[in-house]
Amino acid sequence: MSIAPYVPIAGLLVLGALFALFSCTIAPLVGPKRFNKAKLEAYECGIEPAPVPAGRFPIRFYLTAMLFIVFDIEIIFLYPWAVSFDMLGTFGFVEMLLFIVTVFIAYAYVWRRGGLDWD
Amino acid sequence: MNPVLAADITLPHINYGAIAPILILLGMACVGVLAEAFLPRTLRYPVQVLVSLVAQVAGLATIIGLALSNYAKKPTLTAGDALAVDGPGLFLQGAVLVLGIVATLLIAERSVERGGAFVAQAAVTAGSEADAEQARRQPSQTEIFPLSLFALGGMMLFVSANDLLTMFVALEVFSLPLYLMCALARRRRLLSQEAAVKYFLLGAFSSAFFVYGIAMLYGFAGSVKFHDIAVAAISSGKSDLLMFIGLAMLAIGLLFKAAAVPFHVWTPDVYQGAPTPVTALMASCTKVAAFGGILRIFYVAFLDSRWDWRPVIGVIAVLTMVIGAILAVTQTDIKRLLAYSSIANAGYVLTGVLAMQKDGISSSLFYLVTYGFTVLAAFGLVTLVRDQDGEATHLSRWAGLGRKAPVLAGVFTFLMLSFAGIPLTSGFTGKFAVFSAALGGGQTTLVIFGVLSSVLLAFPYLRVVVLMYLQEPAADAPTVAVPGALTSAALAIGAIVTLLLGVWPSVLLDVANSAAQFVG
């Protein structure tokens, strides 16, 4: 592989960078400086970006989200296992059983500690 | 079914006996989680301490059994070459567990402070009504035991991982519990939570580097196994560039955990903010695990390309020793002082690692154990110097302790002398081992910087000693708590091992020597 075909692209990159640098430095130097409020708004780009976040939400959703991830990951492992179950045989079955048991240990902990109660 | 797919699946052979120590630790951690879920509150503490200690002692016994049954001489790969059971692996696993047992004793202490050093519900807002209620009842925190078992199991997996993916999973398994444990301090909880967030964010950042490095090395070698990377480094016709980018990124992830300059900035804040028993665990066991990973990667995957990368890591070792020592001089808090000293000590281990020959491995293994025991005892003593706000860690508060508590001051002086590398302590034999290995490996510059920085580092240690003996205690000087049986045991073990390995180093050095052969 030769890099010769890419030399023009590199040249274009350098030219582009130089042009951007030139424009950005020359404009504040030679341009007039007249400030007004409209200049600080988004320029013809639709609605104002809303800086206000959606507000506070109950911390319980955090726990729900974490539990969701646990089961999500479990499914990610279970699905390919189920598809190729016939090839994995007893070994795959035992390993998957172990995996599910460990997930359920965590689940039992969440349940006993009230992680599943909404209030 | 697709026949091509069918041909691709080969079931890995797993030698359950050879990886039993790791399985015991992680299995018992699951038992601990179940105990946490189903046992009544009053039973949890004794059961968890029992489960935790039984798991570690059983794991240690299994490791010794494996080592005696010649796994050290005839190393094996198992679980589809993902795990290596060899001399350094078994030695490091054993070191993690021995230090882990002592750290668990410190964690389990409940008599120095009522309810222990950990808060039961760390998520309760500090200073709120619920927090006041919690402070009044002082329930005991017992989740720390399964968390520490998971962390120790992850460290054992980390030091025996034989491919990059297993190593990464192990890295996360031991890091995540540590992040949590940092946030559990009963006193100065906001400082503790700040430490945990810093550790978590920077740790996640360094993990990202590690994963990116894995991707680069996979691009280079077409495999994540250490052996294949070593072969590709010699025989593949590709440019080395990908390999060195990958190695650099892996090294960033590992040196972060080992707290080497310039990846050390989290160390003082986290060591100071975390509950002191957890700091002791991090300073001893995490250091062992991180250097276990560094040793295996450098000696198995990148041994033949060492002429190219050794100068770079050498510069990092020099920076680590010198900057750690210089910043230790300026500290006024005992936990921060010990944190900077642990940074400098990471530099000494790195010096031993860079010898890149057999005694480089054995001296690094030896140094990690000697340092681990000394630092455990030192942090154990820090938990005992208290006033009404908890531990009094500012150095000025330690003035005159030699008169108030001669035994504590005596033991602490001994540990400081060991850190300073005075003969008849394990600090001396450890430094002697790594420096002579580095000299043998042609790393004279590193040794010169090492000796100079350890002279410099003796100053802050001896300043603490002078402070304890030659200054008048202040009127409101902190009291020294009477250590409970568990802390006493931890302190005694730490101090005795420091002395023993100082006067009779061969007892451990011989073991390290016979273990110093990685399986390729």
ipTM for the predicted complex: 0.81
Any domain includes A103:
yes
β-sheet bridge partners, residue B333 = B394
Q: Which of A81, A88, A103, A109 to mutate to test the interface with B (most CBs of B within 10 A)?
A: A109
Q: Are B150 and B29 within 8 A, CB to CB? A: yes
If you measure CA to CA, which chain A residue comes closest to B6? A87
Token duo for residue B293? 């990973």
Based on the structure, what is the number of domains in chain A?
Answer: 2
Q: Calculate how close chain A gets to B24, using CA atoms only, in Å.
A: 14
Q: Calculate how close chain B gets to A30, using CA atoms only, in Å.
A: 43
Any domain includes A55:
no
Q: Are A105 and A67 in a shared domain?
A: yes
pLDDT number for residue A49: 63
3-state secondary structure of A90: helix
pLDDT number for residue A1: 58
Token duo for residue B163? 């491919």
Any domain includes A53:
no
Q: Calculate how close chain B gets to A104, using CA atoms only, in Å.
A: 10
Q: Distance between CA B353 and CA B310 in Å, rounded?
A: 10
- B268-303 pLDDT, tens digit per residue, is 999 999 999 999 999 999 999 999 999 999 999 888
Q: How far is CA B377 from CA B102, B103, B148, B225, B412, in A?
A: 9, 9, 18, 38, 8
Q: Which of A63, A105, A116 to mutate to test the interface with B (most CBs of B within 10 A)?
A: A105
What count of other Cβ atoms lies within 10 Å of the Cβ of residue B26? 20
Chain A residues with CB-CB distance to B under 8 A?
84, 86-89, 91-92, 102, 105-106, 108-109, 111-113
Any domain includes A72:
yes
From the list A102, A112, A113, which residue is nearest B30 (CB)?
A102
If you measure CA to CA, which chain B residue comes closest to A83? B1
Token duo for residue B402? 């030699």
- A37-70 pLDDT, tens digit per residue, is 777 777 666 666 666 677 777 878 888 888 888 8
Chain length of chain A: 119
Residue B72: pLDDT band with limits 50, 70, 90: low
3-state secondary structure of B140: coil
β-sheet bridge partners, residue B394 = B333
Q: How many CA atoms lie within 13 A of B391 on its CB side?
A: 27
The per-residue pLDDT of chain B, averaged, comes to 89
**Which residues in chain B touch residue A92, judged by CB atoms under 8 angstroms apart?**
11
Any domain includes A14:
yes
Q: Are B37 and B481 within 8 A, CB to CB? A: no
* DSSP 8-class letter at B243: H
Instruction: Cis check for the bond before B483: say yes or no (omega within 30 of 0).
Output: no
Query: Are B11 and A92 a contacting pair at CB < 8 A?
Result: yes
Q: What is the domain range of residue A8?
A: 4-40
Query: Are A108 and B34 a contacting pair at CB < 8 A?
Result: yes
- B428-463 pLDDT, tens digit per residue, is 999 999 999 999 988 899 999 999 999 999 999 999
Mean pLDDT of B308-320: 91
**Which residues in chain B touch residue A112, judged by CB atoms under 8 angstroms apart?**
37-38
Any domain includes A46:
no
* Rg over CA atoms, chain B: 22
3-state class percentages of chain B: helix first, strand second, coil last, to nearest 5: 75, 5, 25
Query: How much is the pTM?
Result: 0.87
pLDDT number for residue B1: 44
Parallel, antiparallel or unpaired: strands B385-387 and B390-391: antiparallel
Q: Would you kindly state where each structural domain of chain B is located, as residue ranges?
A: 13-515
- B180-229 pLDDT, tens digit per residue, is 999 998 888 889 999 999 999 999 999 999 999 999 999 998 889 998 88
Q: Are A108 and A67 in a shared domain?
A: yes
Q: Which of B2, B4, B9 to mutate to test the interface with A (most CBs of A within 10 A)?
A: B9
Chain B residues with CB-CB distance to A under 8 A?
1, 5-6, 9, 11, 30, 33-34, 36-38
Q: Are B341 and B457 within 8 A, CB to CB? A: yes
Q: Are B489 and B108 within 8 A, CB to CB? A: no
**Which residues in chain B touch residue A102, judged by CB atoms under 8 angstroms apart?**
30
Question: Which residue pairs, CB below 8 angstroms and at least 24 apart, start in B136-144?
Answer: B138/B114, B139/B41, B139/B115, B140/B41, B140/B44, B140/B45, B140/B110, B140/B115, B140/B116, B141/B115, B141/B116, B141/B184, B141/B186, B142/B36, B142/B44, B142/B45, B142/B48, B143/B36, B144/B107, B144/B118, B144/B181, B144/B184, B144/B278
From the list B1, B9, B37, which residue is nearest A112 (CB)?
B37
Any domain includes A117:
no
Higher pLDDT residue, B139 or B418?
Answer: B418
Q: Are A68 and A101 in a shared domain?
A: yes
User: What is the maximal distance between C-alpha atoms in chain A?
Assistant: 79
Token duo for residue B78? 């198992």
